[in-house]
Amino acid sequence: MNIHFYLYLCTSKQDIMAKLQKSIDKRNALIKATIELVNNNGFHATAMSKIAKIANVSPATIYLYFENKQDLVNQTYLDVKTKYTDFVFKTYNENISIKDGFELIWKRIAEFNSKESEYSFFLNQCNNTPMIDESSRQEGIKHLQPLLDLWKRGKADGIIKPFSDQILYAYSINPLSFLMMAQKQGHFQLNDHIEEAFVTAWDSIKR
């Protein structure tokens, strides 16, 4: 019997909430452990037993929350991707000039890469390997819809180059992933060059 059906059957509202929180905590601990281990060792060298140990849980318990290892990694990916998108667009609204809107979103992405580099690194790995099921990886950059809309507006106004979203993304957003990796390996400090990086991004896509 799964956790949520079980919760439904409980009587006290407080109990339900406490229980739910506990199971959420456990799931989060598992996802956190997965990110940490996959980042450091890669998917292949990440054993379920190690994930369990770091999450302070028995290996068997993982299977109460996830179907199998693949499911655990897929769900971790989707979780992290959601965190990313939520963070990036939290401060955005459409009533703003093209350039300012782009700057706002770009800087949020940079901030996410910098502050949540564990998450960024994990996403990056997922996007560049066959670690994740194709179905979970979904359709490329669609999750950045507000940014794509902004670009559409920018193209219509003659402010942004009339090129495909793939190109605009490749040149203005994706470089942040590379810079983050370079930072992780100690070749670079993104924070010392944010403005330079932004100018370069804007120069690449502006008309």
Partner DNA sequence: AAAAAAAGAATGAACATTCATTTTTATCTA
Partner DNA sequence: TAGATAAAAATGAATGTTCATTCTTTTTTT
- Please report whether residue 191 would count as binding a second copy according to CB under 8 A: no
198 binds a second copy (CB under 8 A): no
If binding is defined by CB under 8 A, does position 167 make contact with a second copy? yes
Which window, 53-61, 79-87, 157-165, 182-190, contacts DNA (CB under 7 A)? Answer: 53-61
Among 12, 93, 130, 135, binds a second copy (CB under 8 A): 130
Return left, alpha or beta for 151; rule: phi > 0 is left, psi -120 to 50 is alpha, else beta.
alpha
The CA distance from 39 to 73, in Å, is 12
- Residue 193 contact among DNA, a second copy, none, beta carbon within 5 to 8 Å by kind: a second copy
For residues 30 and 80, which CB has a smaller minimum distance to DNA in the complex? Answer: 30
For position 24 contacting DNA by CB under 7 A, the verdict is no
Cβ–Cβ under 8 Å, residues 117 and 180: yes
Which of the residues 80 through 119 are near DNA (CB under 7 A)? Answer: none
13 binds DNA (CB under 7 A): no
Q: Which does 48 bind (CB under 5 to 8 A by kind): DNA, a second copy, none?
A: DNA
Where along the sequence are the contacts to a second copy (CB under 8 A)? Answer: 39-45, 124-125, 127-131, 139-140, 161, 163-164, 166-167, 169-171, 174-176, 178-179, 181-182, 185, 187-188, 193, 196-197, 199-201, 203-205
